Chains A and B, each alone.
Chain A
Amino acid sequence: MIPALFSIVIGVLLLAFLTHWALRGSSSVPVAGSSPTDTSKALRLELPSADLIERLLDPRDLAFVRKESPAETVRLFEQERRALAISWLRHTRRQVGRLMSYHVGAVRQNINLRPALEIQLGLYYVRFLVLYELILALSYIRGPYQIRLMMGYVVGVTTQLRGVSDKLLGAAQFSTPASAPPPTQ
């Protein structure tokens, strides 16, 4: 019963996501395959490293600041960490949004589609959006140190997104004669 319900929820979410992207205007979408450099820039996610996120939310810092400083410095520290965590999340959201906008443009103009990868990308995107909204809400309600583990999941999902986008980038680069690799000697 529960697995069936879960499948239905995922299906509805995926349908909602596809409808949302289908109904969106294409005015700001970059043209797919205009040049390999444009494609590469559009598809490659620029994300901070996972160890930097770990450093940002390292509980040793919180313990040290609590031990060594007055309450106002602890408050300042928690505000700063929350702001940084949210800033990182929003940056990641923008990057992922850019990637998905590119794919919508590419899919509309390219007949060389790889449906399995596109669906995989869509599923990762839905998972990313759910995590993003959840973490954003939790960071306001419970503070930055309670979302530490979930930030790790975001890094994991964005890494998977990047993996799929790299595979699609390969497909896009070989789909137009202008961007084909030079012949080997």
Chain B
Amino acid sequence: MAKQIGIQAAIADLKKHTLPRLPGDIARLVYLASTRDYNTGKYYHEGLSHIYTQEFAARALQECHKDVFQSLVRSPIEDLLVQFELYVGSGCAQADEFIDFWEKAEPYRVAIPLASDPLSAQLFNSNVKIALAILRHRENNPRNSSPAALLQP
């Protein structure tokens, strides 16, 4: 019971302070995946571990990672594209560099939570591939840009 309360408090903390500062669900997914160790698959967050325990912090990160991923999997491609435009618009990289790298290296594949079912993972990979193709098309044909893209800096 105390364990559940601790985990819930850590999740609430993450959702209140850290995640809202990130521009959209793609940024949140990348951030949460980056807190997972490449070798062990365990989640680490120093600040959160200081306030709660390492175990509670790891569980909170894992739960939030799962939630953000599920939200993206269940988004229509149109909404996914808006998330990509927010992410690129936040200045993480030049749009063409970003599309090149994501198409070639496919880093989104390692951003998937471990516990995801195979169909969710396949659907996410497929939707990202299509969204990148549309972004590429928009990049090459600026007149086709959506109103959401035009709002970005």
Binding site for B on A (CB under 8 A): 46, 48, 51-52, 55-56, 58, 60-61, 64-65, 68-70, 73, 76-77, 80-81, 84, 87-88, 91
CB neighbours of A48 from chain B (8 A): 117, 119-120
Using A56-B119, A77-B130, A84-B126 as known contacts, list a sample of 6 further A-B pairs with CB atoms less than 8 Å apart, ordered by residue number in A: A46-B117, A64-B78, A65-B130, A76-B129, A87-B118, A88-B119
From B76, B119, B133, contact of A91 by CB (8 A): B119
Residue of A nearest to B122 (CB): A84
A77 to B134, CA, bound (A): 11
Asked if B18 is an interface residue, CB under 8 A from chain A, the answer is: no
Residue tally, chain B, CB below 8 Å to A? 20
Q: Are B119 and A52 in contact, with the CB atoms below 8 A?
A: yes
CA distance A70 to B130 in the complex (A): 11
Report B's interface with A, CB cutoff 8 A: 73-74, 76-78, 117-120, 122-123, 126, 129-130, 133-134, 137-138, 144, 146
B145–chain A nearest beta-carbon distance, Å:
10
A77 to chain B, nearest CB (A): 5
Asked if B120 and A52 sit within 8 Å, CB to CB, the answer is yes
Q: Given A68-B134, A73-B137, A91-B119, do A80 and B126 touch, yes or no (CB 8 Å)?
A: yes
Contact of B123 among A46, A56, A76 (CB under 8 A): A56
Contacts of B76 in A (CB 8 A): 58, 60-61, 64
Chain B contacts for A61, CB-based, 8 A: 76-78
B31 to chain A minimum Cβ distance, whole angstroms, is: 24
Asked whether A76 lies within 8 Å of B133 as measured between CB atoms, the reply is yes
Docked complex Cα distance between A51 and B119 (Å): 12
Q: Contact at B119–A68, with CB atoms within 8 Å?
A: no
How far apart are B143's CB and chain A's nearest CB, in angstroms?
12
The contact of A87 among B122, B130, B137, B144, by CB within 8 Å, is B122
Smallest distance from the beta carbon of B90 to chain A beta carbons, Å? 22
Residue from the set B74, B76, B119, B123 with the largest chain A CB neighbour count within 10 Å? B119
